[in-house]
Chains A and B, each alone.
Chain A
Amino acid sequence: MKRKKLLSLCISLPLLSGCWDQVELQELAIITATAIDQLEDGRTRVSTQIFIPRSISSGETGEDPNLGSTFVRDGVGENMAQAISQLQMHIPRKLFWEQCKVYIFGNQLAKSIGIRDAIDFLARHPSPRGNSYLFISEGEAKELLILVPPLERYSADALKKFTNTEYELTTTLRDVDMGLMGEGKSVVMPLVKRLKTQEKTRNEHQTIPIISGTAVIKEGKLIGTLNPPESYGYMWLNGSVSNSVVSITLEGFEGEISYQPTLGSVKLSPLIKGDKWIMRLRFQLEGDIVQNETKLNLLDVEVMHQMKTAFEKEIKKQLELTLNKFQKDLKCDGLRFGRKFHQKYPKEWKKVAANWDDKFSEIEVEISVDAEIRKPGYIGPPAAMPRDEVVK
């Protein structure tokens, strides 16, 4: 019996001597957003937005609206890892990265040294998560962290909520990783900027960051941005069509008719005919009419047909704009055409893989759009218009 007791004592000792990984909640600094900027001297600055847990029992229910529930602190270093270790020295609690879902890269950083090094840190370090969201800011990334939203708890929360909808483009760390590693060596990321405060009673920084555009990253560096129509085109090519509006005018009629798609799908079929590389793009949409500025009665079959053709033409035009931007201006395959060709024609792909960007610009794209108008809305003829003015 004595030996057994001794044995169990020996076994339990190392277990009780210390709980190495144990961290109390009060010892953690919960990071909600991270901004990575480049300073003028080339060093990297990492700023983190840290949550301040206010004790409920202390009776403090109202918060000073100027302060918000977070604060920002940064660290500077040669690269991201060094910057973070310097940052940890300025914070008494242990940095907790696991809950951080928003990473914003500064414009300067993206343009000059590129985001590839930072991505390496994020992918290699165990804490940052593969499904956290990455953004590029239009100016300095840090200033987006200082913002205090009127509705949400912290500015990153507002950005996160944008990612839940399909209105804007969002990319996760995994998307960026896969994109940069893929055939096109590029990825398209959303741009964020500060929304200007509308109310006069609020301060400058009591606002939220919003997604304002799209940036194209090639081999880690920011090479261009897409303007709004091009952004919409890009999103359509990804299949996310909600919240986009297409407006046309019919010949001979004044006013615009607006169409909002609800469902959309893109089918890309690559084709190689001899020396010519063709990509067949079939874009299928479904949507409703949301606004009618003309005097036409939309319940008419003839009118519907005309509208359909006009919408399809307009959509095709926008898509061509986007494709043009990628092929001619940016010379960058952000549309994953390379993947498609690789899947179907692996041998031919291997031959051109080295200078894919040039080949990409030469691809002929045949676009066919099929925009179904499910319904003209609740009403047929234009609203608030006397009967006799409606044109049949």
Chain B
Amino acid sequence: MTGKEKISAVQIEFMMVPTIIGTGLLSIPAIAAKLALHDMWLTPLFGAITGYITVFIVWKIYKLYPTLTPYQYSEEILGKWIGKIVGLVFVFFYIQNCGLIVRQYSDFITSNVMHETPLVAFSTTLLFISGLAVRGGIEVVARSSVICSGIYIAWALVVLFIINKIDLGQLLPFLENGPLPLIKGSMIHSSWYSEFFLLAFLLPYLNNQKAALKAGMKSVFYVMVLLFYVSFFVLTLFGLTSMNQLYPVYTMIRSLSLFGFFENFEVLVTAAWVLGNYVKTSVFLYVSCIGIAQIFRLSDYRLIVFPVCLLILLFSYWNVPNIVFLIHYMFTIQPFYFMIVQTFLPFVLLMVGMYRKKRRGNQ
């Protein structure tokens, strides 16, 4: 089902980076600060380990089955029916999380920028636009991601304007309570880094097989650098008050002042965030749609894009009642849930796949 569409390694990188950090930037620093206190600036570096591991697993399976998406190769590896069940697990996982993403995005905008507008306006428009992009095919998604991500990453440079107000003293005391808080903080990051499993769905379209591992590793590296950059600034600017705020990165942007004249331009940055969230939603939506199409052997996934969008819209309301719940979920359930589905399950697939290939090779 991969068709003739091809994307390049650079496009994959541009797609993966906002997919991971789109919502990560909003939520991670506050939670990491609560757990790791003054060491939160190091948490992205350790969390990236999960990212590298996931990419490695993905790449290994890719080498075994270069043209198949995870839905297809899980059927190959585990047999038709178990494979389909595993595929359905993935599909459900991604649909549910897409709902979470859309909810987070709409929540963020309505609570910070547009207070009166109901959530549905933002959720609907975002899903509609992502639906249009996914209907255009993976090439459209890839190309538009390149442009949108470029603009989205540019906002990161905006933070450089407030360098003069940072207080490096906030980085100390170092490892105050031992390494455990740091590890706990890194675990939170791991849930986001394990989303690199999405790479497995994009690699079959890669036009240059050798560049797969490098593209994946580079993406993890970029994500790590960006998260580190952001965590570092949040900590040095706000210290521990950052753990009290819901969106410390946003508050950081709010205090920017350019030449003492241009202030208050967090709305521009929020608009740039819309771009990042669009990329993330499109990738998740695409993965879900081809999942359903491949599991049920449909001829064209384009027909089910908008119905899946509707489903995701419903999920975005049903998943969590409010943001307090959401943060609790991110603390407790999400790290384990994500790592099991996106790192552990592929690892099992890899092991079984390698074992089978070896057996086949021996016969």
Stretch at the interface among B21-29, B85-93, B250-258, B348-356: B250-258
Which residue of chain A lies nearest to B260 when distances are taken between CB atoms in the complex? A164
Q: A11-B128, A131-B257, A164-B260 are in contact. Are A20 and B172 (CB under 8 A)?
A: no
What B residues does A20 contact at CB under 8 A?
114, 116-118, 121
Q: Is B8 an interface residue (CB 8 A)?
A: no
Query: Smallest Cβ distance from A4 to chain B, in angstroms?
Result: 11
Contact B255 A178 (CB under 8 A): no
Judging by beta carbons under 8 Å apart, are B251 and A130 in contact?
A: yes
* A131 with B255: CB separation less than 8 A: yes
Can you list, as one digit per residue, whether each of B240-258 has a CB less than 8 Å from chain A (1) or not (0)? 1100000000010011010
Within 8 A of B (CB), among A163-186: 164, 174, 177-178, 181-182
CA–CA, A267 and B112, complex, Å: 39
Question: A343–B114 contact, CB under 8 A?
Answer: no
* B207 interface contact, C-beta 8 A: no
- B125 to chain A: closest residue by CB: A15
Within 8 A of B (CB), among A334-378: 339-340, 342-344, 346
Decide yes or no whether B115 CB sits under 8 A from chain A: yes
Residues of the A chain whose Cβ atoms lie less than 8 Å from the Cβ of B176: 346
Q: Are A21 and B124 closer than 8 Å at their CB atoms?
A: no
Chain A contacts for B260, CB-based, 8 A: 164
User: Is A14 an interface residue when CB atoms closer than 8 A count as contact?
Assistant: yes
CB-CB nearest in chain B for A7: B306
Inter-chain CA distance A131–B161, complex, in Å, is 15
Asked if A21 contacts B128 (CB within 8 A), the reply is: no
Instruction: Give chain A's interface residue range (CB within 8 Å of chain B).
Output: 20 to 34
Cα of A174 to Cα of B169 in the assembled complex, Å: 17
Q: Collect the chain A residues with CB atoms within 8 Å of residue B111's CB.
A: 126
| Complex: A113 Cα to B254 Cα, angstroms | 30
Q: Is A43 on the interface with B (CB-CB < 8 A)? A: no
In the complex, the answer to whether A178 meets B124 with C-beta atoms within 8 Å is no
A138-191 residues with Cβ-Cβ distance < 8 A to B are: 164, 174, 177-178, 181-182
Tell me if A313 is interfacial: C-beta within 8 Å of chain B.
no
Chain B interfacial residues counted at CB < 8 A? 27
Interface positions, chain B 75-122, Cβ under 8 Å from A, are 111-112, 114-118, 120-121
Is A98's CB within 8 Å of the partner chain B? Answer: yes
| Minimal beta-carbon separation of B181 from chain A (angstroms) | 13
Q: Which A-chain residue is minimally distant from B176 (CB atoms)?
A: A346
Task: Among B116, B173, B264, point to the contact of A129 (Cβ < 8 A).
Answer: B264
How far is A71 from B262 in the complex, measured between Cα atoms in Å?
26
Q: Do A15 and B121 form a contact, CB below 8 Å, given A130-B255, A131-B257?
A: yes
Assess A344 versus B112: contact at CB under 8 Å? Given A14-B120, A130-B251.
no
B238 contacts partner chain A, Cβ-Cβ < 8 Å: yes
B66 interface hit (Cβ, 8 Å): no
A130 to B116 Cα, complex, angstroms: 22
Contacts of A182 in B (CB 8 A): 239
Cα separation A129 to B263 with both chains bound (whole Å): 10
Chain A interface main SS type: helix
Given the contacts A11-B128, A178-B239, A129 and B255 also touching, CB distance less than 8 Å:
yes
Report how far A306 CA is from B263 CA in the complex, Å: 48
A98 touches B241 (CB 8 A): no
Asked if residues A174 and B255 are in contact (CB atoms below 8 Å), the reply is yes
Bound Cα distance A339, B128 (Å): 50
- Chain A 1-22 near chain B by CB (<8 Å), digits 1 or 0: 0000000000100110000110
Q: A131-B255, A174-B255, A342-B173 are in contact. Are A11 and B114 (CB under 8 A)?
A: no
Alpha-carbon separation in the docked complex, A178 to B260 (Å): 22
Partner of A21, one of B116, B125, B239, B241: B116
Please indicate the chain A residues that have their CB under 8 angstroms from the CB of B254 in the complex. Answer: 129-131
If the complex has contacts A21-B115, A342-B173, are A14 and B240 also in contact, measured as CB distance less than 8 A? no
A98 and B264 form a contact (CB under 8 A): yes
* With contact pairs A20-B114, A20-B118, A126-B112 given, residues A339 and B124 touching in the complex (Cβ less than 8 Å): no
Q: Which residues of A contact B172 (CB under 8 A)?
A: 343-344
Task: Give the distance in Å from the alpha carbon of A296 to the alpha carbon of B125 in the complex.
Answer: 79
B173 in complex: contacting residue of A21, A131, A346, CB < 8 Å: A346
Nearest chain-A residue to B175 (Cβ)? Answer: A346
Contact A126 B115 (CB under 8 A): yes
Asked whether, in the complex, the Cβ of A21 is within 8 Å of the Cβ of B117, the reply is: yes
CA distance A20 to B124 in the complex (A): 16
Interface residues of A in 117-134 (CB under 8 A from B): 126, 129-131
A174's nearest neighbour on chain B, judged by CB, is B255
Give CA–CA (A181, B111) in the complex, Å.
25
Q: Which of chain B's residues have a CB closer than 8 A to the CB of A11?
A: 124, 128
In the assembled complex, the Cα of A98 lies from the Cα of B263 at a distance in Å of: 11
Instruction: Find residues 1-58 in chain A having any chain B CB closer than 8 Å to their own CB.
Output: 11, 14-15, 20-21
Query: Smallest CB–CB gap between A61 and chain B, Å?
Result: 26
Residue of B nearest to A340 (CB): B169
CB <8 Å contact, B257 and A181: no
What is the CB-to-nearest-CB distance from B200 to chain A, in angstroms, rounded to a whole number? 33
The answer to whether B241 touches A181 (Cβ under 8 A) is yes
Q: Which residues of B contact A164 (CB under 8 A)?
A: 260
Alpha-carbon separation in the docked complex, A342 to B239 (Å): 13
Q: Which residues of B contact A14 (CB under 8 A)?
A: 120-121, 124
Interface flags, A306-348, vs B, CB<8A=1, else 0: 0000000000000000000000000000000001101110100
On whether the beta carbons of B257 and A178 are closer than 8 Å, the reply is no
B111, B241, B263, most chain A CB atoms within 10 A: B241
Cβ of B244 to closest chain A Cβ, rounded Å:
8
| B114:A21 contact, CB within 8 angstroms | yes
Give 27 pairs: A residue, B residue, CB < 8 Å, sorted on A: A11-B124, A14-B120, A14-B121, A14-B124, A15-B121, A20-B114, A20-B121, A21-B115, A21-B116, A98-B264, A126-B112, A126-B115, A130-B254, A131-B254, A131-B257, A131-B263, A174-B255, A177-B241, A178-B238, A178-B239, A181-B240, A181-B241, A339-B169, A343-B169, A344-B172, A346-B173, A346-B176
B residues bordering A, Cβ < 8 Å? Answer: 111-112, 114-118, 120-121, 124-125, 128, 169, 172-173, 176, 238-241, 251, 254-255, 257, 260, 263-264
Q: Which 9 A-B pairs have the closest CB atoms?
A: A343-B172, A20-B116, A21-B114, A346-B173, A20-B117, A21-B116, A131-B255, A130-B255, A346-B176
A174-B255, A181-B240, A344-B173 known, 14 other contacts, Cβ within 8 Å: A11-B128, A14-B121, A20-B117, A20-B118, A21-B116, A98-B264, A126-B112, A126-B115, A129-B264, A131-B257, A178-B238, A181-B241, A342-B173, A344-B172
